[in-house]
Copies of this chain bind each other. A is one copy, B any other.
Amino acid sequence: MRITALAGGVGGARFLRGLLGHLDRTPELAGSQVTVVGNTGDDITLFGLRVSPDLDSVLYTLGGGVDEGQGWGRAGESHHLQEELAAYGVQPQWFGLGDRDLGTHVARSLWLGQGQTLSQVTARLAARWGLPERGVTLLPMTDTPVETHVVVEDEQGRRAVHFQEWWVRMHAAVPAQQFVVAGMEGAVPAPGVLEAIREADLVVLPPSNPVVSIGIVLGVPGVRDALRGSRAPVVGVSPIISGSPVRGYADACLAAIGVDASAGAVAGLYADFLDGWLVAEDDLSAARTTLRGAGSSRLTVEGRPLLMSSPQAAADLAGAAVDLGRRLADRRPVA
């Protein structure tokens, strides 16, 4: 089975680890290939080094190097380098980069500086983390440098800040007025991205942030059209449970674009290409009502336990998405 996933950071990475766990334990899915299209909108250049937080969360989580407690960054991490930068007065200090994690950024920056594309760099990084052996290809959504900026207004006035500054330094507490993805108008999907969507047997949307993760991937020119035109069913998992994001600030992001923080409203963002939608049991009735009101009659909504409280729970959730996709496989017109 060829499965393509659009992914953000922590939630996406945990779901993908669950997906691999489900594939490993399911004999009829042996030999499946998973292509992950990762969000690069929250990439940032810090201290002269290029950081790709979402791609790295996928690498570290699937490769067994992640800090399990945080869900991002490296296990057994130290922070000596950044302590030195602070001592030298180098800003910003609100973004914590550990020494091991910085090894990834130094390698990425070195290779980018040698003229390699982000796709090529990501493939080299993924090789070290054993992704090819597990049947996983990690693609950045684009090799074009893009950056999600957030328009905010506070005592310093109205201005745009980098997404990471809003998310990490401001904890998304200053209301976002708008998200602007610098560079997106000229962005081109990375090699293989559109093919992976068009030629998949199943496309999954993990419970990643619908605005600043999945939403950014969908903004890459051509991606949304590929989803609409794919012969594969598209199945998603709600990142919202009972009106709240499981982690992160998806509610603040949804508020910024005028969308309710509800499982049904999030599915509405994907209405033009979504076939199946998994929500928490408690949200099932409300989600169906919301979606019926919006006229999304072709969408199949089912209730499942969504909390990925363990790799086992994540595998069960991913398995539910795969099963739903297989049941919906005949819902798409043959290409």
Give the interface of A toward B (CB within 8 A).
Answer: 47-49, 77-78, 80-85, 87-90, 98-100, 102-104, 106-107, 109-110, 113, 124-125, 128
Cα distance A77–B81 when bound, in Å? 10
Set of chain B residues within 8 Å of A99, measured between Cβ atoms = 78, 80-81, 99
* Contact for A85 among B49, B83, B107, B113, CB less than 8 A: B107
**Contact assessment for B128 and A88 in the assembled complex, using a CB-CB cutoff below 8 Å:** yes
**Contact assessment for B85 and A106 in the assembled complex, using a CB-CB cutoff below 8 Å:** yes
**Contact assessment for B81 and A102 in the assembled complex, using a CB-CB cutoff below 8 Å:** yes
Set of chain B residues within 8 Å of A81, measured between Cβ atoms = 81, 99-100, 102-103, 106
Given A82-B103, A83-B100, A84-B100, 12 more A-B residue pairs with CB atoms under 8 Å apart are: A47-B106, A49-B106, A77-B80, A80-B99, A81-B102, A83-B103, A84-B104, A87-B128, A89-B124, A90-B106, A90-B107, A99-B99
* Contact for A107 among B80, B88, B104, CB less than 8 A: B88
Instruction: Tell me the nearest residue of chain B to A79, going by C-beta.
Output: B99
Show 21 residue pairs from A and B whose CB-CB distance is below 8 angstroms, ordered by the A residue: A47-B110, A48-B109, A48-B110, A48-B113, A77-B80, A78-B78, A81-B81, A81-B99, A81-B100, A81-B103, A82-B103, A83-B103, A84-B103, A84-B104, A85-B103, A85-B106, A88-B103, A88-B107, A88-B124, A88-B128, A90-B106
Instruction: Tell me the nearest residue of chain B to A114, going by C-beta.
Output: B48
Instruction: Tell me the nearest residue of chain B to A77, going by C-beta.
Output: B80
Q: How many Å from the CB of A113 to the closest CB on chain B?
A: 5
Cα distance A83–B101 when bound, in Å? 11
Set of chain B residues within 8 Å of A77, measured between Cβ atoms = 80
Q: How many copies does the complex hold?
A: 2
Instruction: Tell me the nearest residue of chain B to A82, going by C-beta.
Output: B103
Known: A99-B81, A99-B99, A100-B83. A89 touches B48 (CB 8 A): no
Q: How many Å from the CB of A80 to the closest CB on chain B?
A: 4
Q: How many Å from the CB of A73 to the closest CB on chain B?
A: 12
Q: How many Å from the CB of A253 to the closest CB on chain B?
A: 31
Cα distance A333–B85 when bound, in Å? 48
**Contact assessment for B78 and A125 in the assembled complex, using a CB-CB cutoff below 8 Å:** no
Set of chain B residues within 8 Å of A104, measured between Cβ atoms = 84, 88
Set of chain B residues within 8 Å of A98, measured between Cβ atoms = 80
Set of chain B residues within 8 Å of A100, measured between Cβ atoms = 80-81, 83-84
Q: How many Å from the CB of A150 to the closest CB on chain B?
A: 24
**Contact assessment for A103 and B124 in the assembled complex, using a CB-CB cutoff below 8 Å:** no
Q: How many Å from the CB of A56 to the closest CB on chain B?
A: 12
Q: How many Å from the CB of A90 to the closest CB on chain B?
A: 5
Instruction: Tell me the nearest residue of chain B to A98, going by C-beta.
Output: B80
Set of chain B residues within 8 Å of A89, measured between Cβ atoms = 124, 128
